[in-house]
């Protein structure tokens, strides 16, 4: 993917800087328009990873075009969005046009796991620019994203005491039994009214059906609407105590992506995009605060006006029926192009 981006961007005259990946992750690509110098401009954020396993393009989700839908692994989240930005830039180059502001296109390799290695450069680039445009998918009929919940993850480990499940049952302290109670307690913290959700997405434990399990681990995903709730919930979860005094419970983790609101700068940027969309001939709307996190959380939380969800419209991110609406590509590429041409 990185080779492809490097080749495509270089072939239309962008300055390409390839930053070697660390910790086993892929390379990060920072590409910049040849015009506009070093000053602050527009940062376009895209990720080139996907959750789909290698090979799914062959059998589970082959690329195919059916009526207005185009299917493919990662096509909606967010290959199409990355291409929309690329095509808008390519159009400028073909017209021999420049934009008032320089544009930096940043492609990161691990957004789907929380951008552990690229967060630093994302934040640094955001602070060096005036606006951030994120090419994550649009949703619900082309709506874009102007606020997002924060994302946290936690790892729970319970250590009990093993025993023979038949001969010495009473000597055992079941780590799975304790974890089951913790899971219910965590899931009950979900409150749709305040926008807090908890999901215990993975559990692992036990060594055999006839052994009282000595260890059990669980992974928890939490979404929160704002910083105050984030702090309160993180404190509550990190302070969890075991129900059974004979077992140990260890909780680690915390916030990964901060929540952000549609502040007045984001609102102004959105209004501007809305008026551009009207020129093109469609009505641009934004969604109520979404629970999905993105790299836009990092940049908006730093106070840099951020518009997210500028990618293609479609459906089924991360699923085996992931697709985009082909008809959304042209208007959204035009919108990206007009944003490039009008942001000052
Ligand atoms: Zn994405």
Q: How much distance in Å is there from the Cα of 13 to the middle of ligand 1?
A: 26
Q: Using the structure block, give the residue that is written with the tokens 């469609």.
A: 282
Q: How much distance in Å is there from the Cα of 29 to the middle of ligand 1?
A: 17
| Helix (H) or strand (E) segment spanning residue 314 | strand 314-315
- Residue 289's pLDDT is 85
Q: How much distance in Å is there from the Cα of 7 to the middle of ligand 1?
A: 22
Q: How much distance in Å is there from the Cα of 229 to the middle of ligand 1?
A: 25
Q: How much distance in Å is there from the Cα of 302 to the middle of ligand 1?
A: 20
Q: Which tens digits make up the pLDDT trace of 3-19? A: 999 999 999 999 999 99
Q: Using the structure block, give the residue that is written with the tokens 């839908």.
A: 69
**pLDDT category, 30, cuts 50, 70, 90?**
very high
Q: How much distance in Å is there from the Cα of 14 to the middle of ligand 1?
A: 24
The proportion of the chain whose per-residue pLDDT surpasses 70, expressed as a percent, equals 100
Q: What angle do CA 75, 256, 20 make, to 5 degrees?
A: 60
pTM > 0.75: yes
Q: Using the structure block, give the residue that is written with the tokens 């328009």.
A: 33
Residue 90 pLDDT > 90: yes
- Residue 292's pLDDT is 83
Residue 44's DSSP bridge partners are 105, 133
Protein residues with C-beta less than 5 angstroms from the ion ligand 1: 77-78, 136
**pLDDT category, 38, cuts 50, 70, 90?**
confident
- The answer to whether the beta carbons of residues 255 and 234 sit under 8 Å apart is yes
**pLDDT category, 250, cuts 50, 70, 90?**
very high
Q: How much distance in Å is there from the Cα of 8 to the middle of ligand 1?
A: 21
Q: How much distance in Å is there from the Cα of 47 to the middle of ligand 1?
A: 7
Q: How much distance in Å is there from the Cα of 245 to the middle of ligand 1?
A: 42
Residue 209's contacts (CB-CB under 8 Å, 6 or more residues apart) are 165
Q: How much distance in Å is there from the Cα of 38 to the middle of ligand 1?
A: 28
Q: How much distance in Å is there from the Cα of 52 to the middle of ligand 1?
A: 12
């Amino acid at each position: 993917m990185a080779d492809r981006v490097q080749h495509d961007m270089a072939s239309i005259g962008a300055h390409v800087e390839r930053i070697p990946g660390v910790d086993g992750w892929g390379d990060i690509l920072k590409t910049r328009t040849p015009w506009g110098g070093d000053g602050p401009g527009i940062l376009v954020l895209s990720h080139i990873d996907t959750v789909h396993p290698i090979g799914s393009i062959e059998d589970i989700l082959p690329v195919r075009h059916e009526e207005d839908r185009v299917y493919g692994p990662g096509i909606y989240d967010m290959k199409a969005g990355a291409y929309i930005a690329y095509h808008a830039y390519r159009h400028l180059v073909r017209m021999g046009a420049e934009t008032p502001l320089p544009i930096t296109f940043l492609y990161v390799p691990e957004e789907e796991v929380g951008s552990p290695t690229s967060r630093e450069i994302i934040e640094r680039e955001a602070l060096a620019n005036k606006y951030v445009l994120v090419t994550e998918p649009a949703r619900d009929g082309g709506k874009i994203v102007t606020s997002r919940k924060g994302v946290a993850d936690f790892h729970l480990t319970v250590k009990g005491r093993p025993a023979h499940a038949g001969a010495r049952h009473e000597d055992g302290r079941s780590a799975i039994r304790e974890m089951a109670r913790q899971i219910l307690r965590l899931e009950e913290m979900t409150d749709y009214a305040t926008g807090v959700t908890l999901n215990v997405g993975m559990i692992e434990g036990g060594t055999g059906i006839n052994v009282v399990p000595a260890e059990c681990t669980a992974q928890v995903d939490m979404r929160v609407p704002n910083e105050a709730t984030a702090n309160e919930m993180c404190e509550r979860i990190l302070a969890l105590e075991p129900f059974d005094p004979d077992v140990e419970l260890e909780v680690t983790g915390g916030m990964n992506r901060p929540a952000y609101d549609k502040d007045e700068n984001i609102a102004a940027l959105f209004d501007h995009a809305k008026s551009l969309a009207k020129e093109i001939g469609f009505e641009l709307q934004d969604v109520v605060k979404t629970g999905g996190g993105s790299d836009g959380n990092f940049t908006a939380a730093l106070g840099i006006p951020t518009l997210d969800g500028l990618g293609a419209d479609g459906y089924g991110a991360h699923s085996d029926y992931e697709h985009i609406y082909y008809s959304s590509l042209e208007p959204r590429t035009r919108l990206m192009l007009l944003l490039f041409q009008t942001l000052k």
